Chain A
């Protein structure tokens, strides 16, 4: 069975550009969460989507947006990229909205470098 799939695996962008990151959850999972992991730090929560609705938003500027599609895949969009946006972007999928009752699985992430 395929796990959480993220694309692309690596990406280099220039300051000011826009980027779209994609995530396909495990089959049957309806919740997708996005995390940003800066080098040397723990992941930081960005968004959670469940059944195509936003369920949570972390402390990120409006340049960050996301959506979830009918097939439960998700996109994370970042506008006006800054050097500080360079990080590993992780997607996690779970069956339900709350991890308390269901295990969540992380993808391998997209390594974004802004130059």
Chain B
């Protein structure tokens, strides 16, 4: 069946290093993707999004890359800070399904001071 999955369930990085979180998706009909950050005890928080007609999108310290050929999505965080420690989810949406998003299992990012 269709699924959104993550390659690594956990990731530890040194403060100041760059982080890369990966996500694989299998639904070729998905045309919109969002990365979320979820801190303990809180709801998911929007980080950055990308449409399927784009390969790359940059925000403040974050970049999302989309490779439709291999159905792969990645989130790059520059100069990782302790406050970046959280679980990160990618979510995919088929344009005709409104707010019905499929979330991956998540990657737990730990920033080591």
Taking Cβ atoms with an 8 Å cutoff, the residues of A that contact B are: 4, 31, 33, 35, 40-45, 48, 50, 55-56, 58, 90, 92, 94, 97-100, 103-109
Contact = CB atoms under 8 A, between A and B. Distances in A.
A41 B106 contact: yes
Nearest to A3: B43
12 contacts: A31-B98, A41-B106, A42-B89, A43-B101, A45-B100, A45-B101, A50-B98, A55-B99, A99-B32, A103-B46, A104-B46, A106-B45
Contact of B99 (A44, A94, A109): A94
Contacts, number: 69
The interface size bin for chain B is 20 to 34
A100 B93 contact: yes
A92 B100 contact: no
Interface string B66-103: 00000000000000000000000101010101111111
B104 A48 contact: no
A100 to B, nearest CB: 5
A58 B43 contact: no
